[in-house]
Amino acid sequence: MKKSVLLCLTMFLLVAVFLAGCGDNKKTASSSANNEGGTNTLEEIKKRGVLIVGSSNDAPFAFIDKNTKQFSGIDAEIIKEIAKRLGIPKVEMKEIKFENLLLELNNKNIDIVTDGMYIKPEREKIANFTHTWYKEGEALVVPKDSSIKGIEDLKDKVVGAQKGMAFLELAQKLQKEGKIKEVKVFGSQAELLLAVNTNKIDACITDSVVAGYSITKDPSLNLKLVSPYQAQAAGNIAAAVRKEDKDLLDAINKELDQLKEEGFILQVLKKYGLNQDNVVPVGE
């Protein structure tokens, strides 16, 4: 009887040791597979050979040039140079409505957002922003024959702004303060400027860079930027990446700081009518 009990105990211990050993081996194999098969976002993009950029196709930030069919603009030139230095041969733009850019980023339909986007606390909650690329503010756009000379002239006026942009918030704030009669919302810069041009609204508050570029390039727009004008919603522009893509964020920041030191950023800004006032120091 004692021998039977001893034999049973011995067999039980052997089985237990065997199963424990199998469990450890399985865990190790799984961990090894994860370590060997795991890859970060930057590596995945390099293997793919294409960086997919999200933009609302608004000139002059990041757009497809109608004549050359090339990805062009301030943000486009910066990200293409960064991609080249990171060993990514191609940058491809995917057109997305501005208000949906961060949503599509987190849905992993694009790798990065580069579209003149301001760094804002509510946006930082859902995405990480790179170091600041450059800074700029809003403009007050009116017909060339308008008597509007500033915000103080908008009390009885209808003013437009674009959905999803910081300037819409400014316009709505001014309306609440009684400085604007009514604010109308538009889905794109093109619609916004056309509404002013056809006198559907009296003025619009929009991005100074976009407005200046559009008016210069399109002779059908009988518009002007109110000047002098003190911007009230000046902000910092940067690219946005997913929260988990720290490898991509760090790599972009490193190359961006180098571009600032070399004067490349200032060179691009001057090409699109901006100047030293729009430059942000390295590391910021």
Asked if residue 183 is part of any domain, the answer here is: yes
**259 and 186 belong to one structural domain:** no
**72 and 119 belong to one structural domain:** yes
Domain boundary among 206, 225, 244: 225
Asked if residue 9 is part of any domain, the answer here is: no
Asked if residue 162 is part of any domain, the answer here is: yes
**124 and 253 belong to one structural domain:** yes
CATH code (residue 94): 3.40.190.10
**54 and 85 belong to one structural domain:** yes
**105 and 184 belong to one structural domain:** no
**128 and 145 belong to one structural domain:** no
For the chain, give me the number of helices (H) and strands (E)? 10, 14
What one-letter code names the amino acid at 220?
Answer: S
**149 and 261 belong to one structural domain:** no
**51 and 129 belong to one structural domain:** yes
Q: Report pLDDT for 270.
A: 86
Phi and psi torsions of 281, nearest 5°:
-60, 160
**130 and 154 belong to one structural domain:** no
DSSP letter at 118?
A: B
Supply the DSSP string of 176-194, one letter for each residue. HTTS-SEEEEESSHHHHHH
Which residues have CB under 8 Å from 109's CB, separation 6+? 52, 54, 94, 96
Beta carbons of 239 and 124 less than 8 angstroms apart: no
Q: Report pLDDT for 39.
A: 56
First to last CA, the chain: 81
List the domain range (segments joined by +) for residue 155: 138-225
**146 and 192 belong to one structural domain:** yes
Q: Report pLDDT for 38.
A: 44
Q: Report pLDDT for 150.
A: 94
Residue 96: CB atoms within 10 Å = 21
Sheet holding 90-95, edge to edge: 90-95, 50-55, 112-113, 240-241, 128-129
**180 and 166 belong to one structural domain:** yes
**50 and 117 belong to one structural domain:** yes
Spell out the per-residue pLDDT of the chain, length 284, in tens.
Answer: 433 444 444 444 444 434 444 444 333 322 333 333 445 999 999 999 999 999 999 889 999 999 999 999 999 999 999 999 999 999 999 999 999 999 999 999 999 999 999 999 999 999 999 999 999 889 899 999 999 999 999 999 999 999 988 899 999 999 999 999 999 999 998 999 999 999 999 999 998 888 888 888 888 999 998 988 888 878 899 999 999 999 999 999 999 999 999 999 999 998 887 778 788 999 87
Number of domains in the chain: 2
